[in-house]
Amino acid sequence: MTAPPDQSPGQSSATLASEPGTGHRTFLGVQVPLRLDCGIELSEFPVAYQTYGELNTDKSNAVLVCHALSGDQFVSATHPLTGKPGWWDMVVGPGKLVDSERYFIICANILGGCMGTIGPKEVNPGTGQPWGLDFPVITVADMVRAQAMLVDHLEIDTLFCVIGGSLGGMQVLEWAASYPERVRTAVPIATAPYHSAQNIAFDEVGRQAIMADPDWRGGNYLIQGTNPHRGLAIARMVAHITYLSEPALHNKFGRRLQDRDAVTFGFDADFQVESYLRHQGSTFVDRFDANSYLYITRAMDYFDLAERYDGVLAEAFLGSETRFCVISFTSDWLYPTSESRRIVHALNAAAANVSFAEIESDMGHDAFLLEEPKFWRVLSGFLDGAREHFGLGTGNGT
């Protein structure tokens, strides 16, 4: 399916070619309604995405990168809003591990997000106002359905690789389960087949912090001209702690004081770790929508891949010919290795092709976003092997 040649705003078609390594933002006007897990249908909604590199002639070199809770489509190069490198710029780009000179890389803002894809911040065509809490609650499977529509639109049948960490890893698992014939390799990183009680609990604290902010206005803050920035900052602060690890915090900050020689016997940010957390909270609110935070965390909480297979996770992967590379990090306590092992055990039970690596790291859950050469070597080895197996050769496609 392709967009019509004559496009109205918000329905521009994808441009398949781009300057190597320089992403550009386009919109997809989806013409086929998307039926959500909650039963509601979305029609004609925008999906904001970036592409990097060029699709080869046999369309065999497409890589879909799935972003996490606070990520977006700007995976590589400079982020147009923050002016900083994209969230995975160390891994994705020209000459990098996921090489835009070799692959056609796609990254789309997820359903429910706040960077152009439909979500609670976007305008509800029925009212002409932002959706707010009228936006339907979406699931990880819904996010993946929207991505599949985008891949259809790009006229790509089969993805060489679907890759992502955290919530991105849940999308990878969902892709592999729902569209096995379209996924040659799947790399779920630092993720889990379902959200644990502890993770639901942390998400719930974040949501309660947002909803307790009087400026949230029952979700109508955009219409009423307020901003629940205090609540969203608290949500970000607590989540940020869970992305790190005790050793990482100890090494980075310990009990060191912030620009002072002694404690002040007050409630200022005496400690560096306090100052750092406050900064994380306050910068996040500049680029993220509070309602999107509610919706995306809810989708994560609802994620339980085995549920629709009567609780048997292996059933999700039966008969799959996808090659999997499951990766976890030793100090990740949000998505600990034990949860990656569940995925691996299910894949083994389904007789799927799976590699598994637990990477020694003290950087916690965020290790997948940081400089972690051991992780990169595993990923590089897996992709090289898959390229060879699927006959992609060494150049740009075959």
Task: List, by residue number, the catalytic residues.
Answer: 166, 332, 365
Name the minimum Å distance from CB 254 to a second copy. 6
Closer residue to a second copy, CB minimum distance, 49 or 276: 276
Name the minimum Å distance from CB 278 to a second copy. 7
Name the minimum Å distance from CB 157 to a second copy. 32
Closer residue to a second copy, CB minimum distance, 42 or 163: 42
250 binds a second copy (CB under 8 A): yes
Residues of span 178-207 touching a second copy by CB under 8 A: 194-198, 200-202, 204-205, 207
35 three-class SS: strand
Of 20-28, 294-302, 354-362, 386-394, the window that binds a second copy (rule: CB under 8 A) is 294-302
d(CA 234, CA 272): 17
CA distances from residue 284 to 69, 235, 392 in whole angstroms, order as listed? 12, 10, 40
Name the minimum Å distance from CB 90 to a second copy. 25
Of 45-53, 87-95, 301-309, 375-383, the window that binds a second copy (rule: CB under 8 A) is 301-309
CB–CB of 347/326 below 8 Å?
yes
Considering only CA atoms, which of 102, 104, 71, 69 is closest in space to residue 89?
A: 71
Write down the residue that tokens 């994808």 correspond to: 14
237 binds a second copy (CB under 8 A): yes
β-bridge partners, 108: 49
253 binds a second copy (CB under 8 A): yes
Closer residue to a second copy, CB minimum distance, 163 or 237: 237
In what helix (H) or strand (E) does residue 348 lie, and over which residues does it extend? helix 337-349
294 binds a second copy (CB under 8 A): yes
Residues of span 118-177 touching a second copy by CB under 8 A: 133, 136-137
Q: b/e for 323-348, b at 16 or more Cβ within 10 A?
A: bbbbbbbbbbbbbbbebbebbbebbe
Name the minimum Å distance from CB 281 to a second copy. 7
Of these, 3, 97, 148, 238, which contacts a second copy (CB under 8 A)? 238
Tokens of 38: 């909650």
Measured in degrees and rounded to the nearest 5, phi and psi for residue 69 equal -45, -55
Closer residue to a second copy, CB minimum distance, 53 or 228: 228
Beta strands in the chain (DSSP E): 24-29, 34-35, 41-42, 46-52, 62-66, 92-93, 98-99, 104-108, 123-124, 129-130, 159-165, 183-189, 323-329, 353-359
Closer residue to a second copy, CB minimum distance, 2 or 198: 198
Considering only CA atoms, which of 304, 380, 377 is closest in space to residue 339?
A: 304
Site map for a second copy, 263-292, x if CB under 8 A? x-xxx-xxx-xx--xx--x-----------
Of these, 20, 227, 333, 380, which contacts a second copy (CB under 8 A)? 333
43 binds a second copy (CB under 8 A): no
Of these, 86, 132, 168, 336, which contacts a second copy (CB under 8 A)? 336
Pairing outcome for strands 41-42 and 34-35: antiparallel
94 three-class SS: coil
Of 5-13, 53-61, 149-157, 238-246, the window that binds a second copy (rule: CB under 8 A) is 238-246
d(CA 71, CA 296): 11
Residues that bind a second copy (CB under 8 A): 37-38, 133, 136-137, 194-198, 200-202, 204-205, 207-209, 211-214, 230-231, 233-234, 237-238, 241, 244, 246, 249-250, 252-255, 263, 265-267, 269-271, 273-274, 277-278, 281, 294, 298, 301-302, 304, 333, 336
